[in-house]
Structure 1
Amino acid sequence: MGRGPYAKSAARRAEILAAARDSFAERGFAASSLRDIAERAGTTHAVLQHHFSGKEELLIAVLAQRDADEQAAGEREVERSFGALTAYLAGVLRSHQGEPELMRLWAELAVAASRPDHPAHAYFVERYERARARIAGSVSDLAGTGPLDAETATTLLHALLNGLQVVWLLDPSLDIVTPIERFMDLIGPDGPSPAAS
């Protein structure tokens, strides 16, 4: 276990990220303030700014931490089983539905970061490539020989995961888990199930 100033600094940074996540989820990005986040983290505004230059950097760090947590969970839960992969993806969507404000912030930032001059552009490009590589690896290893090749299935699955979250933000009554499960039925090792036909 780490000791000394580095360990304390890493712990403080983690506390600030947790406080920022709570603040963004509760109040939204615009209404959250660095002073409120510092107070939630039990620190000062100056200490927070020693670790993070501003709210946008904090938001990117919060979303990156969420990505890292989800990737670690996926690696633990998905053991080269298509059913486990499907359950994991459905769980990710349900988890995101539990934090709609973070889902909204992610969607807004992803679009804004599509501009090459945006501060988060490089992060989102790298994130997309990492996510695509993970999905492609799982799909090519676990999918059957259905009508879709692995590359097409990967592109559609990635688009479906992102698009379903956006339409759910517009209409929270929508079921966004079943479409993922049915799509996975289509590309899975046994092809379409009777329920998906």
Structure 2
Amino acid sequence: MHPYREPPLRPCRAPADGVASGGEPDEDAAARGARKKASIRREEIIAIAADIFATKGYDGASLRDIAERAGLTKAALYYHFPDKEQIFEIVVMSRMESLIADVGEHVAAAGDDPVRRIEAFVEASATRIDQDRTGWISSSNTFWSFENAQNRVRIVAQRDAYEKILRDAIKDGMAKGVLRKRDAGLVSRLILAGLSGLPRWHKADGPLSAQEVGRQYLDFVLNGLKVERD
């Protein structure tokens, strides 16, 4: 008689994505995949909407415009967003939240020197403008277009929080004697006006980068153009 031998082991194959170990579809994996695709599609729609809001304004843009550009029917667009107001809310508010967090982080990293903090504010803001021109324009063009009063209150609070980062640095510079005492709100508005207008005329392939333009703006504010003569 031949001695008993164990049959050779067959290598186990890992279940394919979306398939459970028993060969049945993994509903959790399928659901995760569907959610991921939906999330990517939402981001695409938001980017398209930002571009349309930038060129047509809130009142001039329609759900039909957004759906056609995205290659969707209006019914399919409603699957992602119930109305134009919600799309606009995401375009404006999500960008403002991200802007405040990013600029605030750069300003905090600049330390206690108020001038360095002002420079960090301008540098970080110019970089964000350069990276998201249509989003910035659509937000500034249609700032007061929210139909929902609660949304208007929220966006004004976000704007104030962003401006306060700069204004506090200016006030600190005046208090420490490194900046002349002037109206800090007026100075901050002058800097912000220059930054806000930047994406309307500046070309990404122009002779100066957005950051270099921001530095020159700030130099004009801090040092002026007048040459001091003995």
The TM-score bracket by the shorter chain reads 0.5 to 0.7
Q: 1:13 and 1:148 mapped to 2: Cα distance?
A: 53
8 Å Cα contact 1:182-1:196 kept in structure 2: no
Q: CA deviation at 1:178?
A: 3.3
The residue aligned with 1:23 is 48
In the alignment, structure 1 segments of 5+ residues that lack a partner are: 187-191
SS at match of 1:147: coil
Decide which structure has the larger Cα Rg and report it. Answer: 2
Match of 1:48 among 75, 80, 88: 80
Q: 1:34 and 1:122 mapped to 2: Cα distance?
A: 29
Q: 1:36 and 1:64 mapped to 2: Cα distance?
A: 22
In the alignment, structure 2 segments of 5+ residues that lack a partner are: 1-27, 54-60
Match of 1:91 among 124, 137, 158: 124
8 Å Cα contact 2:137-2:200 kept in structure 1: yes
Aligned-residue RMSD, C-alpha: 4.1
> What does residue range 113-152 of structure 1 map to in structure 2 within 5 Å?
120-143=151-174, 144-145=176-177, 146-149=179-182, 152=183
Match of 2:98 among 69, 74, 78: 69
Greater helix percent: which structure? 1
What is the CA deviation profile of residues 109-158 of structure 1, one whole-angstrom value per residue up to 9, with x for unaligned ones? 12546xx9877532332223222333233333355422234xx2234223
What is the CA deviation profile of residues 11-45 of structure 1, one whole-angstrom value per residue up to 9, with x for unaligned ones? 789646522342135x4233752475596xxxx43
Output the TM-score relative to the length of structure 2: 0.54
8 Å Cα contact 2:52-2:66 kept in structure 1: no
8 Å Cα contact 2:129-2:199 kept in structure 1: no
- Does the C-alpha gap of structure 1 residues 121 and 158 become closer, same or farther in structure 2, counting only changes over 3 Å? same
Identity of aligned residues (%): 11
Output the TM-score relative to the length of structure 1: 0.61
Q: CA deviation at 1:194?
A: 10
The residue aligned with 1:189 is none
> What does residue range 157-176 of structure 1 map to in structure 2 within 5 Å?
157-166=188-197, 168-170=199-201, 172=203, 176=213
Q: 1:64 and 1:196 mapped to 2: Cα distance?
A: 43
Q: 2:102 and 2:49 mapped to 1: Cα distance?
A: 23
Q: 2:38 and 2:226 mapped to 1: Cα distance?
A: 47
